[in-house]
């Protein structure tokens, strides 16, 4: 048994990198299960819903219940469906996010002139034309949200630009920051995770590879934090960052030392 009731575990850079399983990840997840620690996977990937991670991790022998998975896409969809139920959302994002939003009952519009809300996210189709349309959507002071702040995304081929890079361009033309970024490390994300786990923040461990999302999420919500060095964070980054995790692990395999 462990003093932790639950753990929020990042996916990309913590469990997998691209399609490859990170060595020791399965051992870490097994250790959490053996300690009686409830587990919630939380990815800032805005292109995937909860079902995806069961399919993605099953070939590696990791069983995942979709109800124990959150993504920035699902958190964003739930938030907009709840707070902007009657509004039309202009989306700068991919088709997968579009489907997740529509499944949650969010009304989307392709017409920037009729937008009540603007949502920025990751899309490989981002262009000058997209940026111009988002500028038009901002004209009447529409609320501005982002799915996640990740400037880069780790893949098998290395880092690629993420939602944060696109949001930076949208911020520049809007002349203002988003009203909220809904994925990690936001309060919205923390409340969604704790609500799913029904656990005390003080007895919840957050494990991930990003200081500014995973560790910051836990820090803001009063959870204990651990960063793994298998993703975007290395010891040089740790030394220069104002965000300090409670624990530093070479990989998820070392989570057993905290239990």
Q: What is the spatial distance between Cα 147 and Cα 251, in angstroms, rounded to a whole number? A: 27
Q: Are 111 and 172 in a shared domain? A: yes
Q: What is the pTM of this model?
A: 0.93
Same domain membership, residue 223 and residue 135: no
CA dihedral 218, 80, 97, 141 (to 10 degrees): -100
16 plus 88 within the same structural domain: no
pLDDT on residue 1: 52
Q: How confident is the model at residue 18 (pLDDT cuts 50, 70, 90)?
A: confident
Query: What value does the mean pLDDT of the chain take?
Result: 95
Using DSSP, state whether 45 is helix, strand or coil. Answer: coil
Contact present, 145 and 76 (Cβ < 8 Å): yes
Q: Which of 199, 249, 232, 228 lies closest to 2, judged by CA?
A: 199
Q: Are 157 and 219 members of one domain?
A: no
Over 90: is that where the pLDDT of 2 sits?
no
Residue 1 within a domain:
no
Is 174 in the same domain as 202?
Answer: no
Closest C-alpha to 191, from 179, 178, 204:
204
In a domain, 148, yes or no: yes
Residues in the chain: 259
pLDDT value for 247: 98
**Which domain-ending residue is among 181, 209, 232?**
181
Q: Please report whether residue 57 resides in a domain.
A: no
Residue 147: domain span:
73-181
Mean pLDDT of 233-249: 96
Domain boundary among 181, 198, 214: 181
Number of domains in the chain: 2
Could you report the per-residue pLDDT of 55-96, keeping only the tens digit for each?
A: 899 988 899 999 999 999 999 999 999 999 999 999 999 999
One domain for residues 137 and 176: yes
156/255: higher pLDDT:
255
Residue that is last in its domain, among 181, 213, 242: 181
Q: Please say whether the beta carbons of 53 and 69 come within 8 A.
A: yes
DSSP state of 47: T
pLDDT in tens, 99-146: 999 999 999 999 999 999 999 999 999 999 999 999 999 988 999 999
Top-confidence residue, 55 or 175: 175
Backbone φ and ψ for 8, nearest 5 degrees, come out as -100, 115
In whole angstroms, give the CA distance from residue 163 to residue 173.
Answer: 16
- Cβ contact 40:68 at 8 Å: yes
**126: CATH:** 3.40.50.1000
Q: Taking residues 190-217, report their average pLDDT.
A: 96
């Amino acid at each position: 048994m462990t003093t932790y009731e639950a753990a929020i575990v990042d996916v990309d850079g913590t469990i997998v990198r691209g399609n490859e399983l990170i060595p020791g990840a399965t051992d870490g997840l097994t250790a959490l299960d053996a300690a009686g620690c409830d587990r919630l996977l939380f990815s800032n990937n805005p292109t995937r819903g909860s079902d995806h991670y069961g399919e993605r991790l099953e070939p590696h022998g990791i069983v995942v219940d979709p109800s124990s998975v959150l993504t920035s896409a699902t958190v964003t969809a739930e938030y907009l469906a709840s707070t902007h139920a009657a509004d039309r959302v202009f989306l700068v994002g991919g088709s997968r996010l579009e489907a997740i939003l529509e499944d949650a009952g969010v009304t989307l519009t392709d017409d920037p002139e009729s937008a009540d809300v603007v949502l920025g996210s990751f899309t490989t189709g981002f262009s000058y034309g997209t940026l111009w349309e988002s500028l038009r959507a901002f004209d009447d002071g529409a609320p501005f949200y982002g799915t996640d702040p990740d400037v880069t995304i780790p893949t098998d081929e290395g880092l690629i630009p993420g939602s944060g890079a696109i949001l930076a361009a949208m911020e520049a033309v809007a002349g203002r920051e988003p009203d909220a970024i809904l994925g990690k490390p936001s309060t919205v994300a923390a409340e969604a995770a704790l609500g799913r786990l029904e656990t005390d923040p003080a007895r919840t461990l957050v494990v991930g590879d990003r200081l500014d999302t995973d560790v910051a999420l836990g820090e803001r919500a009063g959870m204990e934090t651990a960063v793994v060095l298998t993703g975007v964070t290395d010891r040089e980054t740790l030394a220069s960052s104002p965000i300090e995790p409670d624990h530093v692990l070479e990989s998820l395999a070392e989570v057993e030392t905290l239990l």
